[in-house]
Amino acid sequence: MDLENKLNEKEIIKSKSSHLLIDKSDQKKYKLVEKKLPFKNHLHTFTIATFIGYYYVGHSKKIETNYNGFIHLDVYRKSPYLDFLKTLAIVHENDPLILVDEKKICEICEGYARTGIDLLVEWIDSKEDELDNIIAKLLIKKFEELNVE
């Protein structure tokens, strides 16, 4: 079966999730980051933590103790951020068929967010530069690496 047939609207998604999870031990980290940065909600914080975990830290860490109900997935489904999570999962798995397994997409992103939130907290505690400047420099560096003309 080709990709187009696999992903058509009639295809049953292998598994669905209702929430994105974080580790219970990371709950305070999210609150700290949200106090220090202009992120408006958990959705923004989780997305940037996922980005940093993947592109900057380069590895993920499994959730040990679930904190349920952190971000309801319907919030992501109504936002453009879900496209980023799907893209990251495709790159991570090197397989576009990951899109039929929403739970797996979530697990991948949850692991990267776990390492990313640790680094965000570390940057907040660092007095080297303002956190928003650090994030801006990281984004600029990644775009330069893409070398798109």
Q: Which residue has the tokens 């305070």?
A: 28
Q: Residue 138 falls within a domain, yes or no?
A: yes
The answer to the question of residue 64 being in a domain is yes
pLDDT in tens, 38-50: 777 888 899 999 9
* Torsion sign, CA atoms 97, 102, 108, 109: positive
Structure tokens given for 147: 């070398």
Which pLDDT band, with edges at 50, 70 and 90, does 145 fall under?
Answer: confident
Q: Which of 93-97, 121-125, 131-135 has the lowest mean pLDDT?
A: 131-135
**Residue 8 placed within a domain:** no
Angstrom distance (rounded) from CA 117 to CA 60: 11
Place 127 in a pLDDT band, splitting at 50, 70 and 90: low
Asked whether the predicted pLDDT for residue 63 surpasses 70, the reply is yes
Cβ within 8 Å of residue 26, ≥6 positions away: 67, 114, 117, 118
Q: State the total domains in the chain.
A: 1
Output the six-digit token pair for 12.
């049953």
Residue 1 is assigned to a structural domain of this protein: no
What is the pTM for the complete model shown?
0.79
Q: What is the pLDDT of residue 16?
A: 66
Residue 7 falls within a domain, yes or no? no
Q: What residue numbers bound the domain in which 131 lies?
A: 15-146
Selected residue with higher pLDDT from 131 and 47: 47
Least confident piece of the model among 44-48, 121-125, 131-135: 131-135
Alpha helices in 63-101 (DSSP H): 73-77, 81-93
Instruction: Classify residue 6: in a domain, yes or no.
Output: no
Closest to 57 in 3D by CA, of 115, 125, 123: 115
pLDDT for the residue numbered 88: 92
Question: Is residue 67 included in any domain, yes or no?
Answer: yes
**Beta bridge pairs of residue 101:** 15
Q: Lowest mean pLDDT: which of 6-15, 80-89, 113-122? A: 6-15
pLDDT of residue 46: 92
**In a domain? residue 139:** yes
